[in-house]
């Protein structure tokens, strides 16, 4: 009977949100063909995915962890064949670093990329790549609260540019377990979140944190609840650097979002956000 058959959901029907943060081998520290990332997304029932590989930088900034500027067309050619009307759909994005001085370049370059969404991330404090495991030892030499403050000042700078759609891994300094006390964290991030809200920026729930020493998604439940209070929209990202990581712990991420009060997340097309109910 047709009616009986239609009561079961299709195996391929999306029941998990879009994954808007994943990389390609062009960044020199990810592996696996984009097609394989898509296959995981399809098997996981994700709404859609966006590739957001690390943006190239003509100054040689962090060159060992990103594509060369001359490889950008190759990046486009790598993703374009996946944009063939398939389900789940595949979007084209980038994770662009914010650092002081990058603004003129990104102001020129980002609009020409024809992206569906642009993540803005901070991975450096001065010349210290603070989330790079190779530079982890430097955490022993710094004042942890001072490092967090310097990081949050950069997030304020990122926010002020209005160049980005979504802030990546909002509390990245905790990656190796260097946390602040809740009270200090709250005092520090509230004014930052006020600015994020006024700028109309979204933040991502980035599940990669569950794969790191800190064993907690970015941002923490505390920060996420403060973001929700302010009506700051969210989306989801696995930050996959291997095909198997696509959609990583998305059920936990949705549960976390709901627990702090979220009912919707964002979907993007051509950098235009649309709010959709959580699955």
Phi-psi category of residue 161: left, alpha or beta, with phi > 0 → left and psi -120 to 50 → alpha: alpha
Q: Which is nearer to Zn ion, 14 or 247 (CB)?
A: 247
Q: Is residue 131 close enough to count as binding Zn ion by CB under 5 A?
A: no
Q: Which stretch binds Zn ion (CB under 5 A): 106-114, 191-199, 232-240, 270-278?
A: 232-240
Q: Which is nearer to Fe ion, 33 or 86 (CB)?
A: 33
Q: Is residue 121 close enough to count as binding Fe ion by CB under 5 A?
A: yes
* 98-104 contacts at long range (C-beta below 8 A, 24 or more positions apart): 98/122, 98/154, 98/157, 98/158, 98/161, 98/163, 98/164, 99/61, 99/124, 99/154, 100/154, 100/157, 102/57, 102/61, 103/161, 103/163
Q: Which stretch binds Fe ion (CB under 5 A): 99-107, 190-198, 236-244, 270-278?
A: 236-244
Q: Which stretch binds Fe ion (CB under 5 A): 12-20, 90-98, 193-201, 225-233?
A: 90-98
Question: In which element (H, E) is residue 205 found?
Answer: strand 202-206
Q: Which stretch binds Fe ion (CB under 5 A): 12-20, 108-116, 117-125, 134-142?
A: 117-125
Binding partner at 116 among Zn ion, Fe ion, none, C-beta below 5 to 8 Å by kind: none
Q: Between 237 and 256, how does the x/- string for binding to Zn ion read (CB under 5 A)? A: --x-----------------
Q: Is residue 239 close enough to count as binding Fe ion by CB under 5 A?
A: yes
Check: CB of residue 246 under 8 Å from CB of residue 236: no
Sorted by sequence, the CB contacts under 8 Å of residue 18 that are 6+ apart come out as 46, 47, 48, 49, 50, 88, 235, 236, 265, 267
CB atoms within 10 A of CB 136: 15
Q: Is residue 204 close enough to count as binding Fe ion by CB under 5 A?
A: no
Binding site for Fe ion (CB under 5 A): 95, 121, 239
Binding site for Zn ion (CB under 5 A): 239
């Amino acid at each position: 009977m047709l009616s009986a058959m239609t009561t079961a959901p299709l195996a391929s029907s999306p029941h998990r949100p879009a994954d808007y943060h994943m990389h390609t081998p062009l960044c020199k520290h990810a592996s696996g063909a984009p097609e394989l990332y898509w296959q995981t997304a399809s098997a996981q029932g994700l709404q859609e995915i966006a590739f957001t590989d690390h943006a190239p930088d003509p100054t040689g900034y962090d060159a060992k962890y990103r594509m060369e500027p001359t490889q950008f067309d190759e990046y486009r050619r790598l993703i374009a064949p996946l944009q063939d009307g398939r389900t789940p759909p595949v979007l084209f994005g980038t994770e662009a670093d914010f650092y002081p001085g990058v603004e003129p370049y990104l102001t020129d370059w980002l609009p020409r990329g024809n992206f569906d969404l642009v993540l803005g991330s901070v991975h450096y404090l001065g010349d210290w790549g603070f989330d790079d495991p190779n530079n982890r030892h430097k955490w022993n030499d710094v004042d942890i609260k001072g490092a967090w403050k310097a990081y949050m000042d950069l997030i304020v700078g990122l926010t002020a540019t209005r160049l980005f759609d979504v802030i990546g891994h909002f509390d990245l300094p905790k990656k190796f377990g260097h946390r602040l006390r809740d009270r200090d964290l709250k005092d520090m991030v509230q004014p930052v979140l006020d600015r994020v809200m006024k700028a109309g920026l979204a933040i991502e729930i980035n599940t990669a944190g569950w794969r790191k020493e800190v064993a907690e998604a970015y941002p923490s439940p505390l920060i996420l609840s403060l973001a929700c209070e302010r009506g700051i929209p969210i989306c989801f990202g696995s930050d996959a650097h291997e095909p198997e990581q696509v959609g990583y712990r998305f059920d936990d991420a949705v549960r976390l979002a709901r627990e702090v009060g979220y009912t919707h997340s964002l979907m993007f097309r051509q950098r235009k956000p649309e709010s959709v109910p959580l699955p």
